[in-house]
Structure 1
Amino acid sequence: MTETRESVFKTSQGSVLHYFTRGTGPPVVVLPPAWGIGSVYLQDGLRALEDKFTLIYLEFRGNGRSTKPAPEQMTCWHLAADVEHLRQELELDTIPRLVGHSGGGTIALWYAIRFPGRVGKLILLTHRLEGFDDSQSMGAMLAAKQRDPRMRDALQALTSSWDDLSDEEFAAVNRRFLPAYYHDPSVASKSPLASVSSIPLWNYQMLHGKYAQLKSQEELLDKVTANTLMIFADDDPICNPEHGLATKKGIADSELVVLEKCGHFPWMERTDETLSHITRFFST
């Protein structure tokens, strides 16, 4: 088993950021979402890549041992600066390979927009295109899942207000909803997220909830110069393929793959295909 190396560093602005390093080979920076679930689930899911690449998992501000910022600096646009601080800490002229999952993909995309030329190859795994209106496609997918008796209890977790929950109660809601992320809900029990006992509600409210300050990425996609691969899943109710189609329209050098019978965590339901696409893209 590959050793996990933990590191903490201070940025030029005085904040503290935390990251994990696993594997050997050319560097790959991996970005999880920043709403509090951390990177452990990605460390588990992508471990098969560790014999080919050195995977560097950043814990964003407000996550893990990283500094909690002022509320107005807890946006995906601001969080892209954490990636730039990491690049400087690693003494890399550019980030040759960058991958982000879900909300981490949103931040990876902001980094590629804000710092063009600093990314060689970019993989967006079932990412959200910030500011994109997916209400119709998301509603249709959730309605289809509602017809599956296996999903009904999970989907009921969306019906109540989360505003007054403790971090432990918020984690319980997320554990309950977790099966709905998958094409096959039974796979949810194999995820490290199935045992998470506390998730900071503050992070979620700042990034996706009532205090979120969203910016539109769609009109800025032409700033991306990185060679980009997007991997989506046809049964992902949270980041459906419409986000990928819209992103592809704006990035000239981009490729879109949509995996069938698969949900939000494609390395769990389409393991070989997902890892093969990642390896191929980062090895050429």
Structure 2
Amino acid sequence: MEDVSFKTAVGSTLQYFKRGTGPIMIVSPPAWGLSSKYLQETLTPLEETFTLVYLEFRANGKSTRPDPSEMSCWHLADDVEYLRQELELGKIPHLLGHSGGGTIALWYAIRYPDKVDRLVLLNHHLDGFNDGKSMKEAIVEKSRNPKMHDAIKAWTTSWEDLSDEGFAQVIRSFLPVYFYDPDASTQSTELSNIQSVSLWNYQLLHGTDRKVNYQEPELGNVTAKTLMIFCQADPVCTPTQGIATHKGIPGSKLVIYEQCGHFPWMEKKEETFKEIVDFCS
């Protein structure tokens, strides 16, 4: 695993990890404090086909914390551009983003349409999209499973005044909600044992201090060949967001898995990796 830190054109520092063989695939994780470690742990099958470059966005890992006014998914797309320049790529061959990392990857494809060839979005959040109804329906469905009750209780707990360690504890508690099978939540050691998550990051990207930007009106700017994978049992990024994105990006492909939650490559491993490799071939 190659661990690199570099200076950007504006003087900030960004960190990335590089591993695998084959064409470059930049991996865009959520920037709200999880870092890319859970993706490094679980996306390893893709390293047989691609050279994966796991980016640590600003305020994550060893990357520089910015001014709060520059901590939105729209702004973080610039970090992908800095990495493209660092890797001396004329165009990013493959850009993969998960969840909030998919939001950033999508902003990159909107803002830099000629700089990315293929875009893979796994259960991404569509910035500015109101998905409250679908999210509520998903939680109601999960509440029918007694194994989910404690996790749902943690899900609805306020964490406004928690420490980073306390916030991580809440995330560990409600992690099963993200899965169709709550027992599958132990598949990622990084997620199930996470000890500290930056509440500062979360509040600026998804919480009370968030600056709302709207992607839906700008989806027509995307020229990259786009694959989206969504899952029916995902209460955070429901298929409703994928359907809206699919409508806005001409020629895009949308796949929706049944009996699967927020991490399709963990609960539908073979199907997900095959879908990605076939799309990027």
TM-score of the two chains, using structure 2 as the length reference: 0.99
Q: Quick check: 1:226–1:253 contact (8 Å CA) kept in 2?
A: no
Q: Deviation string for 1:83-106 (max 9, x for gaps)?
A: 000000000001010000000000
Counterpart secondary structure, 1:6: strand
1:249 aligns with 2:236: no
Per-residue deviation, residues 228-260 of structure 1 (Å, max 9, x unmatched): 000011100000100100000000020000011
Structure 2 match to 1:282: 280
Could you tell me how far apart the structure 2 residues matched to 1:157 and 1:264 are? 17
Contact kept? 1:229, 1:255, Cα under 8 Å: yes
CA distance in 2, matches of 1:253, 1:56: 26
1:132 lines up with 2:126 in the alignment: no
- Is structure 2 residue 255 aligned with structure 1 residue 228? no
CA-to-aligned-CA distance 1:201-232 (integer Å, 9 cap, x gap): 10000100100001110000000000000001
- Which residue number in structure 2 is paired with residue 188 of structure 1? 185
Amino acid at match of 1:102: S
Separation (CA, whole Å) in 1 of partners of 2:154 and 2:207? 15
Amino acid at match of 2:230: F
Would you say how many aligned residue pairs link Structure 1 and Structure 2?
Answer: 280
Report the 3-state secondary structure (helix = DSSP H, G, I; strand = E; otherwise coil) of the residue aligned with 1:30: strand
Counterpart of 2:120, as a letter, is I
Q: Give the match for residue 159 of structure 1.
A: 156
Structure 1 distance, partners of 2:141, 2:170, is 21
List gaps (5 residues or longer) in structure 2: none
Q: Distance in 2 between matches of 1:148 and 1:279?
A: 34
Name the residue aligned to 1:107: 104
Instruction: Find the aligned partners of 1:136 and 1:195 in 2 and give their Cα distance.
Output: 31
Residues 1:266 and 2:264 are matched in the alignment: yes
Q: Which runs of 4+ in 1 moved over 4 A?
A: none
1:94 is aligned to 91
Partner of 2:166: helix, strand, or coil?
helix
Match of 2:5 in 1: 8
Deviation at 1:24, TM superposition (A): 0.8
Distance 2:183 2:76 in 1: 33
CA distance in 2, matches of 1:243, 1:64: 29
- Matched to 1:242, the amino acid is T
Distance 1:190 1:228 in 2: 28
Shift of 1:44: 1.4
Distance 1:267 1:148 in 2: 23
Which of residues 76, 81, 84 in structure 2 aligns to 1:84? 81
Q: Which residue of 1 aligns with 2:175?
A: 178
1:202-213 equivalent positions in 2, closer than 5 A:
202-213=200-211
Following superposition, the deviation at residue 40 of structure 1 comes to 1.1
CA-atom RMSD in angstroms:
0.6
Q: Which letter maps to 2:113?
A: P
User: Aligned equivalents of 1:136 and 1:163: distance in 2?
Assistant: 23
Paired position in structure 1 for 2:37: 40
Kept in 2: contact 1:31–1:105 (CA 8 A): yes
Structure 1 gap ranges (5+): none
Deviations 1:176-204 (CA, angstroms, capped at 9, x unpaired): 01000000000111212001100011000
Shift of 1:158: 2.4
Residues 74-128 of structure 1: CA distance to partner in whole angstroms, max 9, x if unpaired? 0000000000000000000010100000000000000000011111000000000
Structure 1 Cα separation of the partners of residues 38 and 100 of structure 2: 14
Residue 50 (structure 1) aligns with: 47
Instruction: Specify the alignment match of 1:62 in structure 2.
Output: 59
